[in-house]
Amino acid sequence: MNLTESKKTLALSGAALGVVAAALAFFGNPKNMAICIACFIRDTAGAMKLHQAAVVQYVRPEIVGIVVGAFLISLITKEYRSTAGSSPMIRFVLGMIMMIGALVFLGCPLRMLIRMSAGDLNAYVALVGFVGGVFTGTAALKKGFSLGRSYESRSVSGYVLPVLLVIVLILSVTTTLMAVSEKGPGSMHAPVLIALVGGLVFGAVSQKCRTCFAGSFRDVILMKNFDLITVIGAFFVIMLIFNIATGGFRLSFDGQPVAHAQHLWNILGMYVVGFAAVLASGCPLRQLVLAGQGSSDSAVTFLGMFIGAALCHNFGLAGAAAAAATDASPAVAGGPGMAGKAAVIICIAVLFVIGFLPGIQREKK
């Protein structure tokens, strides 16, 4: 079935994704996180001891499920195509940059939308930055930017990432090799089977309806095409209904879980994500789906995000969540420290070099 054939099927697809996210939140995932790609990659990197932030360490079955779900549905529908060779090192850097921007904001575009549906006004502020980043990336495309062609490769090349992720998940369930948070966001999770099934469905539906947050806004800017943004809108409506029904909706800047109100850095963090996602031809979710359907280039981008998550916590680049004062400790404003702020500025500079500097590969696909 082609889920992109009409706005109705796209809206139904978005609603289905929203139901999956709501179910995962209901069964134990952090409610205003539900299925955040950046957060869950970070948690998985922590579980593999690539960083030592004890509150965000857990192998998230959803990440495995999204990649494997896209892999299986692409095989079934004969859309699987193993490709590679489109500027892999630049894609690796773009993956790292996307993760840095996301963790300064404290969420990927998917979590930004989930936070918006819970009334987090900081996420609405960040949306301005994200759209601005997509607009800048689109301007680079109009100037002729391209990472070059991908080429057919051996089919087995596309199997590597799904197989590796399944092995990691099996090890996390059957051994004590992986770290597991005892408190904080990493300790909050749906049962493994429910999380895995949710990820499989999320990956399969996203593959069939071409879900991409950056691509949705890019299509509006480039072609005045609102098809893909229909998916985003339907997802938002379902999550809004869920949050209102469960008492999770609170319209405010302050008091939002795992968030901060440092507006400039929320804007700039998501600006980085939007800009990098357009240059890399997909947001973090889209990169997982493309990797699942055979793109080794997107698998390299995923590895960039994975290493970027570790760097963020090892070098203090990630934003801190705001916290109210208690009897034992003063209030914390949250947001990134000086290292995180410097990293965001450097990322923006690097993105302009990649996107606009003459001499960067501009071979049309």
Q: Which of 1, 8, 33 is nearest to 243 (CA)?
A: 33
Q: Taking all residues of the chain, what is their mean pLDDT, rounded to a whole number? A: 94
Is a pLDDT exceeding 50 seen at residue 283? Answer: yes
Arithmetic mean of pLDDT, 260-271 = 97
Are 289 and 76 within 8 A, CB to CB? no
Give the pair of three-digit tokens for residue 363: 């071979």
Provide the number of structural domains found in the chain: 1
Is position 130 within any domain? yes
- Residues 23 and 194: beta-carbon distance below 8 Å: yes
- Is residue 362, in this structure, part of any structural domain at all? no
Q: Is residue 365 part of a domain?
A: no
26: in domain: yes
Alpha helices, H only, 79-212: 88-105, 109-117, 121-142, 160-174, 192-209
Buried b / exposed e over 165-188, threshold 16 CB at 10 Å, is bbebbeebeeeeebbbbeebbbbe
Residues 31-78 pLDDT 10s: 889 999 999 999 999 999 999 999 999 999 999 999 999 999 999 999
Q: What percent of the chain has pLDDT over 90?
A: 90
Give the pLDDT score at 344.
Answer: 98
Q: 3-class SS at 363? A: coil
When pLDDT is cut at 50, 70 and 90, the band that residue 191 belongs to is very high
Q: Strand, coil or helix: what is 120?
A: strand
**pLDDT for res 364:** 45
Task: Establish if 164 belongs to a structural domain.
Answer: yes
- Looking at the DSSP bridge assignments, the partners of residue 252 are 120
The residue ranges of DSSP E strands in the chain, in sequence order, are 83-84, 151-152
pTM confidence score: 0.95
Could you read off the pLDDT of 221-240 as tens digits, one per residue? Answer: 999 999 999 999 999 999 99
Burial class (CB in 10 A: 0-12, 13-18, 19+), 127: buried
Would you call 4 helix, strand, or coil by DSSP?
Answer: coil
| Containing structural domain, residue 12 | 7-356
Query: Residues 158-186: what's their mean pLDDT?
Result: 96
What is the share, in percent, of the chain residues with pLDDT greater than 70?
96
Q: Which pLDDT score, from 0 to 100, does residue 360 have? A: 56
Does position 361 have pLDDT exceeding 60, yes or no? no
The answer to whether position 298 is within a domain reads yes
Tell me what the mean pLDDT of segment 286-313 comes to.
97
Residue at 2 is within a domain: no
> Is 90 inside a domain boundary?
yes
